[in-house]
Amino acid sequence: MAVQKYGLDLGTGTIKIYKEGLGLALKEKNMIAIRRKTEMVAFGDEAYAMYERSPLNIKVYCPVKNGMIAELHDMQILLDLFLKKIKCTNGFVSSNVFYFAVPSDITEVEKRAFFDLAMGSEFKTKDLYIVEKPVATAVGEKIDVLHTPGAMVIDFGQDTVEISVVALGGLVASRLLKIGGNAMDEAVCEAVKEQNRLLIGMKTAESLKLELGSALNAVQSYKKVLGRDMITGLPAEARVDSQVVCEPIQSLLHQSVRVIKTLFERTPPEVLRSIRNNGIIVNGEGSRLTNLKEYLERELSIPVVMSEKPDESVIRGLAKIMADDKMRSLAFSVKEAIFS
Ligand SMILES: Nc1ncnc2c1ncn2[C@@H]1O[C@H](COP(=O)(O)OP(=O)(O)OP(=O)(O)O)[C@@H](O)[C@H]1O
Ligand SMILES: [Mg+2]
C-alpha cells in the first residue's frame, strides 16, 4: 500500500505543510473566521484579510497559541480544509503518515492535543510522529544533529521566541519566551498611543514594524498611518517616527538576549565551543527584522547564521527526517510518547 508522508508546522501565524515528493505544498495564514461561534465564514489567507475588518459577530483568530493547539475543534476544521486543498486523500491505495513539528517544552497534555487533532481528522492516520521544532530546524539548516556536541537555534516566531541547544541527537536546553512578533506589534500599538495619541490596530502596528523597525538604531525615518484619535475617537492620521517604533522592539530583543546569556552561563565549555563553531542559527519570519544579525553578534560575540528561508527551515528538517532512516531517532511516535 502506498504511503504518503506529510510534514506539518502549525505556526501561530502561518501553517506550512510539506508533502513528500512535492515539497512545500501549502503556506497560509493559520486563521479561521467564525460567525456566532459555529458557522465557518473563511479560512487561511482569506480569514486573515477579514482580521480587524469583520463585523462583531464574526471572530477571526488563530486556534494555535504559543505553538500549542488552544482550540482543538477549530484547528480540526482548519487542518482538514488545508489538507483537502493539497489533495490529501483517504483512498484505498494510500495511507497517510503525519510528522508534526512541536515546541520544545510541550507537556503530555499538549502532545495529546496533537494526537487528538490527527485522529479526529478526516484524513486520520495510524502513524503519527512528533519532532521538536528546534531539532527539525537544526536538521533543516544542515547541522549534523546526531553527532554535533552542541548547536544553538533561535526561532523568532509570531507568539514566541524559542531558544534551544541541541546536541548528540536531542534537545539539551530550551526556553520558550512569549515575546514574539505579536508582542512587538502590541508594544508598537502602545508606543503610538502614548507618543501620537492615536489608536491603531495590530495590522497597522505590524506594517510600522516591517517598514521602520530595526534591532539597531536605524536611520531617522517616519511613516504616516491611519487610526482613531484617542480623545475624539474620530479617524485620524499621524506621522510615526522610526524611534517610536524601534524603542519597544529593541527592549523586547534585550529580554531575549538576557535569556540567551543566562543559558550560556549554564552551558558546559565544550558545548559552547561547538555552538561557536556552528554559529547561532536564527530562523522564523521575525528574523527578517532589519539589523538583527548585527545586533545579536554585537551582544553575544558569537557568529550568527541567518536562515536563508527562515519560514521553511522547520519543514526542510521534517522532510529530511522522514526521508532518512538514520534520523529515525529524532521523531517520536505519539502513541509511544503518550501511552508508554
Ligand atoms: N521583515 C520583518 N521584520 C520583522 N518581523 C517580521 C518580518 N517579517 C515577518 N515578521 C514577523 O514574523 C512573525 C511571524 O513569524 P513566523 O511566521 O515565523 O511565525 P509562526 O511560525 O507562524 O509562529 P510560531 O512559530 O511563533 O508559532 C510575525 O510577527 C511577523 O510580523
Ligand atoms: Mg514557527
Indicate whether 242 and 124 sit together in one domain: no
User: SS3 for 22?
Assistant: coil
189-201 pLDDT tens trace? 999 999 999 999 9
* Residue-number span of the structural domain to which 36 is assigned: 2-136+314-339
User: SS3 for 259?
Assistant: helix
Indicate whether 202 and 257 sit together in one domain: yes
Local confidence band at 52 (pLDDT 50, 70, 90 cut-offs): very high
Structural element, H or E, at residue 236: strand 235-241
Indicate whether 149 and 31 sit together in one domain: no
Give me the count of residues in the chain: 340
- How many angstroms is it from 203 CA to the middle of ligand 1? 13
Structural element, H or E, at residue 242: helix 242-265
Local confidence band at 336 (pLDDT 50, 70, 90 cut-offs): low
In this prediction, residues 230-238 reach a mean pLDDT of 95
Q: Which amino acid is at 221?
A: S
Indicate whether 160 and 111 sit together in one domain: no
Indicate whether 256 and 320 sit together in one domain: no
157-209 pLDDT tens trace? 999 999 999 999 999 999 999 999 999 999 999 999 999 999 999 999 999 99
235-264 pLDDT tens trace? 999 999 999 999 999 999 999 999 999 999
Indicate whether 184 and 296 sit together in one domain: yes
Residue with CA closest to ligand 1 atom 6: 286
Percent of the chain scoring above 70 in pLDDT: 96
pLDDT score of 338: 56
Indicate whether 122 and 170 sit together in one domain: no
Grid-cell match 493547539, residue found:
69
Q: Yes or no: say if 295 and 216 are a contact pair by the CB < 8 Å rule.
A: yes
In this prediction, residues 97-104 reach a mean pLDDT of 94
Please tell me if the CB atom of residue 103 comes closer than 6 angstroms to any atom of ligand 1.
no
- How many angstroms is it from 311 CA to the middle of ligand 2? 7
CATH for 322: 3.30.420.40
pLDDT score of 339: 54
Indicate whether 241 and 283 sit together in one domain: yes
Indicate whether 186 and 300 sit together in one domain: yes
In the chain, the number of structural domains is 2
Please tell me if the CB atom of residue 157 comes closer than 6 angstroms to any atom of ligand 1.
yes
Query: DSSP assignment of 84-138, as one string?
Result: HHTT----TTEEEEEEEEE-TT--HHHHHHHHHHHHHSTT--SEEEEEEHHHHHH
- How many angstroms is it from 161 CA to the middle of ligand 1? 10
Indicate whether 106 and 230 sit together in one domain: no
Average pLDDT, the chain: 94
Please tell me if the CB atom of residue 202 comes closer than 6 angstroms to any atom of ligand 1.
no
Indicate whether 78 and 119 sit together in one domain: yes
Indicate whether 40 and 160 sit together in one domain: no
